[in-house]
A and B are shown apart, each in its own frame.
Chain A
Amino acid sequence: MAALAEEQTEVAVKLEPEGPPTLLPPQTGDGAGEGSGGTPNNGPNGGGGNVAAVAATAAAGGDGGTPKPVVAVSAAAPAGAAPVSAAPTEAGAPHDRQTLLAVLQFLRQSNLREAEEALRREARLLEEAVAGSGAPGELDGAGAEAASALLSRVTASVPGSAAPDPPGSGASGATVFSGSASGPAAPGKVGSVAVEDQPDVSAVLSAYNQQGDPAMYEEYYSGLKHFIECSLDCHRAELSQLFYPLFVHMYLELVYNQHENEAKSFFEKFHGDQECYYQDDLRVLSSLTKKEHMKGNETMLDFRTSKFVLRISRDSYQLLKRHLQEKQNNQIWNIVQEHLYIDIFDGMPRSKQQIDAMVGSLAGEAKREANKSKVFFGLLKEPEIEVPLDDEDEEGENEEGKPKKKKPKKDSAGSKSKKQDPNAPPQNRIPLPELKDSDKLDKIMNMKETTKRVRLGPDCLPSICFYTFLNAYQGLTAVDVTDDSSLIAGGFADSTVRVWSVTPKKLRSVKQASDLSLIDKESDDVLERIMDEKTASELKILYGHSGPVYGASFSPDRNYLLSSSEDGTVRLWSLQTFTCLVGYKGHNYPVWDTQFSPYGYYFVSGGHDRVARLWATDHYQPLRIFAGHLADVNCTRFHPNSNYVATGSADRTVRLWDVLNGNCVRIFTGHKGPIHSLTFSPNGRFLATGATDGRVLLWDIGHGLMVGELKGHTDTVCSLRFSRDGEILASGSMDNTVRLWDAIKAFEDLETDDFTTATGHINLPENSQELLLGTYMTKSTPVVHLHFTRRNLVLAAGAYSPQ
């Protein structure tokens, strides 16, 4: 779905006359591979003047014979987008594919699980082989194969609902995509269901129509419970995973079929058995007591539209299946078949601890194949810049830094990036803006600072300078600091964005146009002259938003500032004139976070509408829409090489998206609460995430594994940041502490043997306390932002909130 969506936008981008070629038909191979399915259909749409971001494009896939009504609908039509007529397309999918799907379908219906599995595995092997050969970019028959895979994920369409989403029609107009969630490497799975609200809810729910005797539900459940509790220890932990999804679906079935009292007593009886990290969802469920409530309840829709993923070893699964067949327990078997996705693996069953580390998300664990695709996590090669060596003494904000053409001497810090990292993406995988002279100057400054950088380690902890926002009356909602640590921006609940200069250099805006015309443009200090001295001040206030500002981000060149707000817009501000330049409208709901790419020009935003969007500053429409999260996208971060975007969501998953094609390449589960902070390690290999459960989790991006868990915070982790060389991880939290962790140690004893990599079963070190290097309490000041200066001094920021 996402892939299709962004296919569309690419067309839109192409049509824009003035836009520079940005993310245009990216690579030949990819473009053709996916385009062969999508572009021909979308082309006319775009050509007709529809610069819509998303279109409903769906084709009757191979499983037309499926009894299940599966609906694919597009939504998230941005405000002001022209109505998009869905173009129901007839896929030119090869017939063999259809037959394969049909066979799979038949096998599943007749409960021939093994046969189905075998066939599926075989098909996937075939598929992957094809994808592997197709990815590099030759144009061959694989393109068609990929396209058909793409299409097979998208199924029937509902033409009527292609009309623009009426904003705020009852429940969220946010769409639920799950097809893209499962990743492109999962063909043959019919999971892509995008749901428009009201009209289709009944269709979605109708799966609950088949019902057994409501009185029997408790018996079924307790029967299963008894079975699982009596099973062998090694299987018990794995099978216990079934409790929660079964409980939820049985409860929802009862509610849907209007057995209110049975539902209530069922809930009362069994909700105490569920793991405590599902508490928040259970609370939602407990209030859901009537069929009418189910309409528009997002949590409920999440459950219905996405299969809960469980990872179970083959032995445990056999055990379960035998039990259910013996008992003729069709009710539970149906739920397992229809609403759960059981990811079976061979080998030892996992331990309780291993399971606990990975579960907790809204829709279960990530499927194994979702994390299999290759990620280029290496850094891009730094451009060659001659570093003037001898002007060490003339430091400062010398505008005419004049990089004299001296003999190019390689800086120690710069040299490591000279040879191409094997894991790095091709330099031009994503079109990046060219370096301007001022950027080069900044890089030179950066390198000079680098030489003075403090080497951190367990014995050499960084100093922390805390910037307290006084008199903020709990209104501080976002903070950002420029890379060179000269400016601090604060977003406030009163809709303002305030920019402070923390260096003696005051903030000045450019003179009025009439005054500018008087300036001698040839003079040497023209850059000085255009500034209006009268406007110099330490603080500038930017007015424009009409709701709390939840995200702020400086551009790397310090000329722009982005802010995202409750009012649904992202605004781009000029730090030369201190005015608003653009308001990017697209999210119709609050935008929780936004961030500039480390190379500028692109930025990403995520919000309540459950999608993250990729934008370029000179396009008023998003270039990519990353859809797949099942709840709000709380935070968004660019990978240091700008080729990937990580998003953390309230569905308790972290996803990594490929900027090039909009695919979701990693799904990380394991957090037990909404994710509120993300950060990449400077070398791009690792990701650290913090959530409301107070834990910080560390992930290896290349292997797609959880590699560490840092426990210590007692409240939401609001901010995370690695030191410049990646030795220290700093975390700031609502519990009013800054904690420093030994990142080197956390990553060094990383066991990445083949088995772990293959299965994704990790054994986390028992104790994260030995990684904790320091805890620093503030005086009732939640730590909202952390930043390492170029010399590795920590800057922390937060608003004092008197108790």
Chain B
Amino acid sequence: MAEEKKLKLSNTVLPSESMKVVAESMGIAQIQEETCQLLTDEVSYRIKEIAQDALKFMHMGKRQKLTTSDIDYALKLKNVEPLYGFHAQEFIPFRFASGGGRELYFYEEKEVDLSDIINTPLPRVPLDVCLKAHWLSIEGCQPAIPENPPPAPKEQQKAEATEPLKSAKPGQEEDGPLKGKGQGTAAADGKGKEKKAPPLLEGAPFRLKPRSIHELSVEQQLYYKEITEACVGSCEAKRAEALQSIATDPGLYQMLPRFSTFISEGVRVNVVQNNLALLIYLMRMVKALMDNPTLYLEKYVHELIPAVMTCIVSRQLCLRPDVDNHWALRDFAARLVAQICKHFSTTTNNIQSRITKTFTKSWVDEKTPWTTRYGSIAGLAELGHDVIKTLILPRLQQEGERIRSVLDGPVLSNIDRIGADHVQSLLLKHCAPVLAKLRPPPDNQDAYRGEFGSLGPLLCSHVVKARAQAALQAQQVNRTTLTITQPRPTLTLSQAPQPGPRTPGLLKVPGSIALPVQTLVSARAAAPPQPSPPPTKFIVMSSSSSASSTQQVLSLSTSAPGSGSTTTSPVTTTVPSVQPIVKLVSTATTAPPSTAPAGPGSVQKYIVVSLPPTGEGKGGPPSHPSPVPPPSSSPSPLGGSALCGGKQDAGDSPPPAPGTPKANGSQPTGPGSPQPAL
């Protein structure tokens, strides 16, 4: 039952325009407003009645989702003929489109060529219902087997972390820890915790919660050893598997303290020894841990942040700073920090502001070496457009002078020169999209020079490029709006509102969409051979004139076309982050009118679909229109490349980091990196 005492009910009715539209479609041209009003009242009431009956069928069918057949049965109850033809199992086949200020929901009816149907091979027969037994509990303990959910769900880990004081009843005091000790396994522990889960009891004796058990079972010890060895070992394929395991395995939370210590100690040692490769491996472990949806990392952030920060701003990360590509590591770690901020920053811990302060401080310092300088800027830039706008742009002029003095001045040291060069391109890369958004179109070299000093001209040309990119993007997206292609009819469209306000940093301006859609698609086609036909692609652009700025994440999942579901790489089936995701991004009205054909003043929404299983197509910085596949990419979908190349991209693309420009995805694997690909 709803907790809130005051409930709000409102009687919504259909707009009377709908009645007009329906009347028109029936051939009744003129219909009075009064009639419309009467009709909407009646129709709304009847629809609600049907919906209430349909709900009844949903409940009795033991489902959480209303299906079209429920509505059919409800109609049948009322002795109304059901609507034939809407028998899709679990999706509502309406599409939304808009343009020219009109919004439209339509039922897509494609013309079907019979010969196509005849020629396509029959789809695989769906699997029949079967019965499978497993132990949900053995004498009160839930065994840790794949059929059961992970022993400690994230909420519970959180509850444990945040509510250190818990009361327990006298009866359970004895058997909870007792059993835990006796078995020492995840299951026993899980159960012990479960019993403690109830909220505070009134009047019951308070008691400190038992410390989490720090012994690992033999299997867990073996696992830990294998994983850590593989993560820092020399075999790339093994590492990929290990990282995959960290990112997906549900039962790792007991090992978290060890992993986090492993990482922080590892970074400390290897920074001193300038072992770049190992640092990269460790950062990839952090990334994998962050990707694991079942882990509650909050407790260990204090150990992880310093390690990651070290990899961003350390003066020296490798033995030969002039040759080794430690820049890629800094970039990667900077993205990690941005991700950490996004996930864990709250008003109480202030992670983001503290990190921002740290970066700013080291950047402002005159004596900071170029490497640290680079790291600080990268770290700031990853935090989003707002941060760039407020913290980086004002310092552009000053920084430009400094760069010029190194580049143009007498050659002091090669290392400084390289550093300054990198800082310059970094600034250009991050500032151009922001400026393209902020400044009105006519880009004048002189104006830029006046405002940004020596970096001005370069910046100007980058901004122009960024604008072109954005325009191209908008066009591409627009074109696809007109022809929505849906190769396969089975498609789920569920809509989940994204809670909470988003920082502007997450918004994706057209300019920052790295690649034209065409490229994206073609890159997909060239991706590792798939046994199944390519999955459904959807690019929908729609603009709505509604002022609501709430963002929605539409997730569009193809329901396993043909044999696809079983043969695609495990990434698609197990990692939720790689499932096809439609992101709906809206830009502010400040977008240049040229990119908004719907007219100025309208809020635009872009739906971008990311496709499984790899995100390789997204590689390539915006300055290089032709996608450069990561060097390590190999055609095997199961191999390490798909996991390491695709993984980090995949990690960037889902909701956790929609704002990170995808172009950066391939940066760590950038040109000439002698290090193993990230």
B61-A464 in contact (CB<8A):
no
In the bound complex, residues from chain B placing their C-beta under 8 Å from that of A220 are none
- Tell me if B2 counts as interface (CB < 8 A to partner A): yes
B65 touches A778 (CB 8 A): no
Q: Is A167 an interface residue (CB 8 A)?
A: yes
B1-22 interface (Cβ within 8 A of A): 1-11
How far apart sit A782 and B39, CA to CA, in the bound complex (Å)? 41
Q: Is B49 close to A, CB under 8 A?
A: yes
Residue of A nearest to B80 (CB): A168
Partner of A276, one of B4, B89, B153: B4
- In the bound complex, CA of A634 to CA of B1 (Å): 19
Complex CA–CA separation, A548 to B76 (angstroms): 13
Rounded to whole Å, the gap between the CB of A801 and the closest CB of chain B is: 8
Q: B127-147, CB under 8 A of A: which get 1 and which 0?
A: 111111111111110100001
Question: Are A471 and B60 neighbours in the complex by a CB distance under 8 Å?
Answer: no
Q: How far, in Å, is A441 (CB) from chain B's closest CB?
A: 27
Tell me if B63 is interfacial: C-beta within 8 Å of chain A: yes
Q: A680 in the interface, Cβ–Cβ < 8 Å?
A: no
Task: Give every chain B residue within 8 A of A724 (Cβ-Cβ).
Answer: none
Residues B78 and A168 in contact, CB atoms below 8 Å apart: yes
Within 8 A of B (CB), among A468-513: 468-477, 488, 490, 492-493, 498, 500, 502
> Of B7, B41, B137, B153, which is within 8 A of A289 by CB?
B41
The answer to whether B131 and A474 have CB atoms under 8 Å apart is no
**Chain A positions 278-322 with a Cβ under 8 Å from a chain B Cβ:** 279, 282-284, 286-290, 292-293, 297
Chain A 579-609, CB-CB to B under 8 Å as 1, else 0, gives 0000000000110100000000000000010
Q: Mark B43-78, 1 if CB is under 8 A from A, else 0.
A: 011001100100011011111110101000100011
Inter-subunit contact B136/A778 (CB<8 Å): yes
B241 within 8 A of A: no
B149: CB under 8 A from chain A?
yes
Out of A289, A548, A634, A766, name the residue touching B11 (CB < 8 Å). Answer: A289
B126 on interface, CB distance cutoff 8 Å: yes
The answer, yes or no, to whether B79 is at the interface (CB within 8 Å) is yes
Q: Which of A264, A465, A782 has a CB less than 8 Å from the CB of B62?
A: A782
Residue pair B194, A775 in contact (C-beta under 8 Å): yes
Give the residues in chain B near A475, CB-CB below 8 Å.
129
- Interface check B416, CB cutoff 8 A: no
Task: Please pick, from B11, B137, B175, the residue contacting A464 in the complex, using a CB distance under 8 A.
Answer: B137
Contact A674 to B175, CB < 8 A, known contacts A279-B7, A461-B140, A493-B69: no
1/0 contact string of A77-101 vs chain B (CB within 8 Å): 0000000000000000000000000
- Distance of A493 from chain B, by nearest CB (Å): 6
CB distance from B627 to the nearest CB of A (A): 33
**Complex Cα gap A176–B126 (Å):** 45
Main secondary structure of the interface of B (DSSP, over half): loop
Residues of A within 8 A of B69 (CB): 493
B-side contacts of A632, CB under 8 Å: 56
B198 at the interface (CB under 8 A from A): yes
A672 neighbours in B (Cβ, 8 Å): 1
Within 8 A of B (CB), among A617-675: 632, 634, 650, 672-674
Q: How far is the CA of A767 from the CA of B9 in the complex (A)?
A: 32
Chain B 19-50 interface mask (CB, 8 Å, partner A; 1/0): 00000000000000000000001101100110
Residues of A within 8 A of B100 (CB): none
CA distance A509 to B8 in the complex (A): 58
Nearest CB in chain A: distance from B535 CB, A: 17
Point out the residues of chain A lying under 8 angstroms from B142, CB to CB: 776-777
In the assembled complex, how far is the CB of residue A426 from the closest CB belonging to chain B, in whole angstroms? Answer: 37
Contacting B at CB under 8 A, from A546-590, are: 547-548, 550, 566, 589-590
Chain B contacts for A25, CB-based, 8 A: none
A772 to B171, CA, bound (A): 12
Total A-B contacts with CB atoms under 8 angstroms apart = 195
| Given A279-B7, A286-B11, A287-B45, A466 and B78 contact (CB-CB distance below 8 Å) | no
How far is B4's CA from A796's CA once the two chains are assembled, in angstroms? 34
Residues on A with beta carbons closer than 8 Å to the beta carbon of B4: 276
B172 closest partner in A (C-beta) = A770
Q: Are A774 and B140 in contact (CB under 8 A)?
A: yes
Cα of A592 to Cα of B59 in the assembled complex, Å: 11
Q: Which of B9, B63, B139, B148 interacts with A778 by CB under 8 Å?
A: B148
CB contact list, B65-116 vs A, under 8 A: 65, 67, 69, 73, 77-79, 89-90
A423 at the interface (CB under 8 A from B): no
* Complex alpha-carbon distance, A135 and B491, angstroms: 65
Q: Is the CB of A772 within 8 A of B198?
A: yes
Question: Counting CB contacts under 8 A, is B201 at the interface?
Answer: yes
Contact between chains at B9 and A458 (CB < 8 Å): no
Partner of A476, one of B62, B78, B127: B62
A-side contacts of B201, CB under 8 Å: 767, 769-770
Say which size band chain A's interface belongs to. 35 or more
Instruction: Determine whether the beta carbon of B6 is less than 8 Å from that of A272.
Output: yes
Cross-chain contact A673 with B62 (CB below 8 angstroms): no
Question: How long is the Cα–Cα vector from A775 to B11 in the complex, in angstroms?
Answer: 40
B553 to chain A, nearest CB (A): 15
B132 touches A463 (CB 8 A): no
Q: Given the complex of chains A and B, what is the CA–CA distance between A475 and B126 in angstroms?
A: 14
Chain A residues with CB under 8 A of B89: 473-474
Set of chain B residues within 8 Å of A676, measured between Cβ atoms: 59
Nearest residue in A to B171 (C-beta to C-beta)? A458
A694, B52: Cα distance in complex, Å: 20
Q: How far, in Å, is A484 (CB) from chain B's closest CB?
A: 16
Cβ of A468 and Cβ of B132 under 8 Å apart?
yes
Partner of B128, one of A462, A471, A673, A766: A471
- Asked if B129 and A469 sit within 8 Å, CB to CB, the answer is yes
Q: Does A515 lie at the interface of the complex (its beta carbon under 8 Å from any beta carbon of B)?
A: no
Q: Given A488-B131, A734-B62, A777-B149, are A589 and B136 neighbors across the interface (CB < 8 Å)?
A: no
The answer to whether A449 has its CB under 8 Å from any CB of chain B is no
Whether B140 lies near A279 (C-beta < 8 A) is: no
A-binding residues in B (CB < 8 A): 1-11, 41-42, 44-45, 48-49, 52, 56-57, 59-65, 67, 69, 73, 77-79, 89-90, 126-140, 142, 147-149, 153, 169, 171, 175, 191, 194-195, 197-199, 201-202
* 30 A/B residue pairs, CB under 8 Å, sorted by A: A168-B79, A274-B7, A279-B9, A283-B52, A286-B9, A287-B11, A287-B49, A289-B11, A459-B175, A467-B132, A468-B131, A468-B134, A470-B127, A470-B130, A470-B131, A471-B128, A474-B63, A474-B67, A476-B129, A477-B61, A477-B62, A502-B131, A548-B57, A548-B60, A608-B77, A634-B60, A672-B1, A718-B62, A773-B140, A775-B194
Given contacts A676-B59, A734-B62, 10 further A-B contacts (CB under 8 A): A276-B4, A283-B52, A284-B52, A289-B41, A461-B137, A463-B139, A464-B137, A548-B61, A770-B169, A774-B194
